[in-house]
Structure 1
Amino acid sequence: MKKISTIILACCCIGVLIANSNQASAQSLQIVGDTVRNFTAPCTELTEYRVKVKNISSTPVKVRVHREIISRKDSQQVYFCWVNCYTSAVDDSPKPGSSEKTPEITAGRDTSLFVAYVEPRFYDPNTEELVANVEGLSEVRYHFYNEEDMSDEATVLIRINVSCATGVNEGSIYNNTKTSIQPNPANEKVTISFAAPLPFTLGTIQLFDALGKVCAEIPVSGQYPPFLYSNR
């Protein structure tokens, strides 16, 4: 009987160890929705992306955020809000060494507190005038982790492809722009000017002769100034 009791006691101890191990490795946080998100954004405005984070455990969890920039186009500003809204230089919230309080998510509840931003407009730091609209792909991963256990985390990867391309009306092949051509009719030279900026980033002007034949194709871009064309 003594030997049997010892075996039973050992089995009970093993069971307790396994239960404690499972409890320690339990996941507390979960991203609501896709954990990889692909977006296309215009290059002319600030764009925001909201992420819901849920506490799937049975106890409240204080949640911190870490930003991991995988790739970013030069001059694009990528930043976020959690405890506060930060500049593009900040990777962590609450900021290390600050008096900011860590947000707590109640058991079984989610929060929409987090917002990520992408600013493709680049301004001159001295004059604050718009210098450029920056196109290209930026990839940022945000880590939401338990303040008491950094291994207890949930992540979301946000890919933002910023483009300056403009849409084309359905059923239409071209974006048309009115021009004035001088002199008209023309012999060897013609000056083409625009009354307003072109409604596209990149395009082509086609010149036709009196018979409807294309005699020239000229690449142009938005804000294009008047130019001189010669058929010599």
Structure 2
Amino acid sequence: MFHIIKSLEMRYFTYAVLMLGLMISPLPTSLIAQSLEFTKSPSGPVNFDLDADVAKINLHVKNIGSSPVRVWVTMDTSKMFPAHRAYFCWEQCYSFGVVDARNIAGGKPLTLRPGQDTNAFTAYVDHYAVFNEPKSGTSTLTFDFFNEDDPSDRISKTLVFNIGNTTQVLEESTAKDPILWNPTTRSFFIEDTFNGAELDLYSINGEYFKNVQSYAKILPIGIYGYILRTSSGVAIRGIVSIN
């Protein structure tokens, strides 16, 4: 009888320990409710006229949790059209090239109160920035919104900017370029038709390189917009990749 009682006591003790462990153990991340959601966002690509001053898309973000949330935003520009430049506003507007405001002085998150729905976010694509004239193309940007205190509490949105006649851009991209980059000699090959022309480059960050033939070997790797200017004043524009 004594052994039966001890056995029952041990079972109840084990059960109590297990229940206590379940009550004090943290919930798996997958079971923790997210505090952010989009309340307004495009359902697909957004089209813009080529003569628009700038292409912009606004998102509404809501704190659906019960506590204030300090929200940061990061931007992925890996699929941006080379002749475009992108920036965004969230609490404040950041300049071209800023993809993570945490990495710059003055960057700050936006605090959302419980239930607050804000339209403070806008993404911009400037299709004039590289060449100082509008360029058709498709830029795809991905934005992550996340809780400063819990980065796993996040939402993402991919925005597609179709600017101008993107079909024409595709057709033009298959045409033969008047210049080619030779990675072996790290120099440009320019068609005989344009012998004596001056070649200027623009990086996607807005850097300007004038008459680059003389120092092509030291140009940083990347994708550039180019302007090929002939002595007669003709300007040919395009994109070239330096590797």
Distance 1:34 1:84, change over 3 A: closer
Q: In 1, Cα distance between the equivalents of 2:130 and 2:79?
A: 21
| Residue in structure 2 matching 1:57, options 34, 56, 65 | 65
**Counterpart contact for 2:58–2:121, Cα < 8 Å:** yes
The answer to whether structure 1 residue 119 and structure 2 residue 139 are counterparts is no
The answer to whether structure 1 residue 12 and structure 2 residue 19 are counterparts is yes
Distance 1:114 1:133, change over 3 A: same
Which residue of structure 1 aligns with residue 203 of structure 2?
A: none
**Counterpart contact for 1:137–1:160, Cα < 8 Å:** yes
Q: In 1, Cα distance between the equivalents of 2:64 and 2:98?
A: 28
The answer to whether structure 1 residue 86 and structure 2 residue 104 are counterparts is no
| Residue in structure 2 matching 1:110, options 101, 117, 140 | 117
Which residue of structure 1 aligns with residue 163 of structure 2?
A: 162
Q: Which has the higher strand share?
A: 1
**Counterpart contact for 1:62–1:147, Cα < 8 Å:** yes
Q: How far 1:96 sits from its partner (Å)? A: 2.2
Distance 1:147 1:24, change over 3 A: farther
- Displacement over 3 Å in runs of 4+: 17-25, 33-37
Which residue of structure 2 aligns with residue 74 of structure 1?
A: 82
Distance 1:99 1:123, change over 3 A: closer
Q: CA deviation digits over 1:90-125, x for unaligned, max 9?
A: 1023x425244421001122211111111112466x
Which residue of structure 1 aligns with residue 153 of structure 2?
A: 152
SS of residue in 2 equivalent to 1:151: coil
TM-score normalized by the length of structure 2: 0.58
Matched residues, percent identical? 24
SS of residue in 1 equivalent to 2:92: coil
Which residue of structure 1 aligns with residue 142 of structure 2?
A: 141
Distance 1:151 1:75, change over 3 A: same
- Give, as a single letter, the amino acid of the residue that structure 2 aligns with 1:15: L
SS of residue in 2 equivalent to 1:133: coil
Q: In 2, Cα distance between the equivalents of 1:42 and 1:20?
A: 49
Select the structure of larger CA radius of gyration. Answer: 1
Distance 1:72 1:100, change over 3 A: closer
- Give, as a single letter, the amino acid of the residue that structure 1 aligns with 2:11: I
Q: In 2, Cα distance between the equivalents of 1:15 and 1:25?
A: 15
Q: Which has the higher helix share?
A: 2
Q: How far 1:4 sits from its partner (Å)? A: 3.4
Runs of at least 5 residues in structure 2 that lack an aligned partner in the other structure:
1-7, 167-243
Count of aligned pairs: 158
SS of residue in 1 equivalent to 2:34: coil
- Give, as a single letter, the amino acid of the residue that structure 1 aligns with 2:94: Y
Q: CA deviation digits over 1:118-153, x for unaligned, max 9?
A: 1112466xxxxx4x3211111000000111122211
Distance 1:99 1:76, change over 3 A: closer
Runs of at least 5 residues in structure 1 that lack an aligned partner in the other structure:
125-129, 166-232
**Counterpart contact for 2:88–2:122, Cα < 8 Å:** yes
